[in-house]
Chains A and B, each alone.
Chain A
Amino acid sequence: MSKQRIDSSLMQYIHVLIVTILVAGTWILFSAEFNPQEAIAAIVAGLATGMGGYVLRKQTRHKIFGFRLWLKHLPRFFAGGLTDCWVLTKMLFRMVAGYPSRSTFKKIPFDTGVGKPVDTGRLVLATYGITLQPNSYVVGFNKDRDEMLIHLLDPNHERPIKEDIRRPS
């Protein structure tokens, strides 16, 4: 058996093991207790899920572990979280110190589309993505003017919306 075959086989075992650990950990987390019974049940659930997922992935040739793809975005994820924390802390200190709030409403051009599923998907994505950020909140959409009304805590930290979300491709 060649070295490449052994490495590939080992990686597949590691993939199943990672899924097993993740599912087992989630099971224990939700059951909120750790004893031998729960550990066995968690391992069984993890192994069954890991095997099922592996078989499906193998048959459909779908690669779920795009580590490099995720790693590329990981620094931005942490940087975004730190920036959000900084913006919120700054605004909180401004409010406590008695400075006037800089929060404002802003209208952004946003193609709301013609009601196709892809347009609804863009609206939902934009609403979730913007509202989940602590600095911004989607108030609503004006379908006649193709605008989106958002509320910004700090206008200096506004983040641009990706073009393929803003307009139908």
Chain B
Amino acid sequence: MNIFLLTSLILVISFIPAIIATIRGDAIDRLIGMSLGGIISTLCLITLAVGTGRSIYIDVALTVAFLSFSGTIAFARFLERWL
């Protein structure tokens, strides 16, 4: 296991605070948790891509980053209406 895989494993563990914030928090906390989860998953997939030398993970990371960004924007827009 090289340093990049170890980094990705640690990033997976760092999902825990995001999940706790998502489940226990209110609407804004959930939005922040989801955004944090998107960033962590993007970073994790990029480190995996570098660690394994497989470019397919980069594609997945790009897709996750795009969806996470647009999802957060859309969610924030609707949150404005719900609040």
Give the B-binding residues of A (Cβ under 8 A).
9, 12-13, 16, 36-37, 40-41, 43-45, 47-48, 51-52, 54-56, 58-59
Contact = CB atoms under 8 A, between A and B. Distances in A.
A43 B15 CA distance: 10
7 contacts: A37-B51, A47-B12, A47-B19, A51-B22, A51-B34, A51-B37, A55-B30
B30 A59 contact: yes
A44 B19 contact: no
Contacts of A55: 22, 30-31, 33-34, 75
Interface in B47-65: 48, 51-52, 54, 57, 60, 64
Contacts of A56: 75
B37 A41 contact: no
A41 B75 contact: no
Given A37-B54, A40-B8, A44-B40, 12 more contacts: A9-B24, A16-B22, A40-B48, A44-B8, A44-B15, A45-B60, A45-B64, A47-B15, A51-B34, A52-B38, A55-B31, A59-B79
A16 B21 CA distance: 13
Contacts of A13: 19, 23
B31 to A, nearest CB: 7
B48 A37 contact: yes
